[in-house]
Amino acid sequence: MQQTSTTMRETVNQVWKKRPIIISGPCSAETEEQVLETATRLAKTGRVDMLRAGIWKPRTRPGSFEGIGTKGLPWMQQAKKITGLPVTVEVATAKQVEDALTFDVDVLWIGARTTVNPFSVQEVADALRGVDVPVLIKNPINPDLELWTGAVERVAKAGIKQIGLIHRGFSSYGNTEYRNAPMWHLAIEMKRRNPELLMINDPSHISGRRDILLDVAQKAIDLDMDGLIIESHIDPDKAWSDAKQQVTPERLGEMIGQIVWRKEDINSEEYHAALEKLRQQINHLDDELMQILGQRMKVAEKIGEYKKNNNITILQTNRWNEILERAFQKGEKLNLSKEFITKYFDAVHMESINHQNKIMNS
């Protein structure tokens, strides 16, 4: 099995320590021309530290483009040669690890659909035994920090020393403004538990669309993430996968330039900087609470429709008592006072009733 050259290994080590790390490239490698042109134009922006491309694509439904396969690996090798930038690809099986390493891929990443499956993660980890290559691990598609932690442990136990995390958001059912809900608090908690690991944010797969990429990237940087991985394509609308969320290399460069990079404050302003960070966390959490409340009301409206069709009253006292009892019990464990829980649920309940009322009496 070939290993990457020493000088490229040193470059990778420098990139690993650089803040912020910017990784970009197409969702999928499609053709040699597309890979090389994307790479060249990304390198020209001077804002990118590493190139990415999916070679094997774990698609939700069969029949869509499932990746160009091993044939695309020499294109990545060539892209590296032309730009001098290290390359990273996603691996999900032992064979893919072997192929990627044969073609000198510098950094491997484990995708969200793989992190959820301990068998797959273990297979990848076993294939990595005795290999010196950095590995990035995406969060699992479901909001489960234990699964994410388990994947880190499996890879670490295989002897991999350089491990990083990628926060790409979590699947949620129903329409939200995101493709994958960021649930920032989970990334924050994962970072708190693993301060030694890199935490890179993936605005592309969180957003699922171009117009909010910058907003998500800025939030990630404000939350002190170590870098960004953002998809870029020479002709985004014609991309064979994830067309809606990709941007041209030039737009990528421009976006990175628009991000406000906040400095770590170590002087007298240390206190204010710390406070500011906490306040931003509060804002993000509040945003999420609002999103969730909006979703809750949508469910209430569905219930309203059901009740209307079956001619049932809006208020059912037993159900309301049950909700409150559950909330008191949970609240106690979370250190939330009974008084607060009562006020909060009264307000939420009233709002739900108003939403249902509109449905039932419209």
Q: What is the number of alpha carbons within 13 Å of residue 246 lying toward its C-beta?
A: 23
- Under rule CB under 6 A, residue 27 binds ligand PEP: yes
φ and ψ at residue 165, rounded to 5 degrees: -115, 145
CB of 166 to ligand PEP, least distance (A): 7
CB of 210 to ligand PEP, least distance (A): 15
- Under rule CB under 6 A, residue 191 binds ligand PEP: no
Reading the block at residue 296, the tokens are: 């809750």
- Under rule CB under 6 A, residue 136 binds ligand PEP: no
In contact, 203 and 217? CB cutoff 8 Å: yes
Chain positions 257 to 316 lying near ligand PEP, rule: CB under 6 A, are none
- Under rule CB under 5 A, residue 36 binds Mn ion: no
Chain positions 52 to 71 lying near ligand PEP, rule: CB under 6 A, are 54
Reading the block at residue 253, the tokens are: 């460069």
Helices 118-128 and 145-157, packing angle to 10 deg: 20
Residues in a beta bridge with 89: 108
Q: What is the dihedral of CA 108, 113, 114, 117, to 10 degrees?
A: 160
Query: Residues 25, 67, 111, 227: which binds ligand PEP (CB under 6 A)?
Result: 111
Which of 309, 320, 319 has its CA nearest to residue 359? 309
CB of 205 to Mn ion, least distance (A): 6
CB of 284 to ligand PEP, least distance (A): 20
Q: Which is nearer to ligand PEP, 112 or 181 (CB)?
A: 112
Residues in a beta bridge with 109: 90, 136
Query: Residues 234, 242, 300, 341: which binds Mn ion (CB under 5 A)?
Result: 242
Q: What is the number of alpha carbons within 13 Å of residue 122 lying toward its C-beta?
A: 3
Q: Which stretch binds ligand PEP (CB under 6 A): 35-43, 110-118, 125-133, 291-299?
A: 110-118
First to last CA, the chain: 69
Q: Which stretch binds ligand PEP (CB under 6 A): 7-15, 94-102, 105-113, 322-330?
A: 105-113
In contact, 58 and 114? CB cutoff 8 Å: yes
Question: How many of the chain's residues bind ligand PEP (CB under 6 A)?
Answer: 8
Block residue for tokens 């060539």: 78
- Under rule CB under 5 A, residue 30 binds Mn ion: no
- Under rule CB under 6 A, residue 179 binds ligand PEP: no
- Under rule CB under 6 A, residue 168 binds ligand PEP: yes
- Under rule CB under 6 A, residue 112 binds ligand PEP: yes
Of these partners, Mn ion, ligand PEP, none, which one is at the site of residue 112 (CB under 5 to 8 Å by kind)? ligand PEP
CB of 115 to ligand PEP, least distance (A): 8
Cis previous bond, 20, omega within 30: yes
Q: Which is nearer to ligand PEP, 45 or 241 (CB)?
A: 241
- Under rule CB under 5 A, residue 27 binds Mn ion: yes
Q: Which is nearer to ligand PEP, 179 or 191 (CB)?
A: 179
State how far Cα 282 lies from the chain centre.
20
Give alpha helix (H) positions in 208-337.
213-222, 249-258, 270-310, 317-333
Cβ atoms within 10 Å of 36's Cβ, excluding its own: 18
Binding positions for Mn ion, rule: CB under 5 A: 27, 242
Residues that bind ligand PEP (CB under 6 A): 27, 54, 111-113, 138, 168, 205
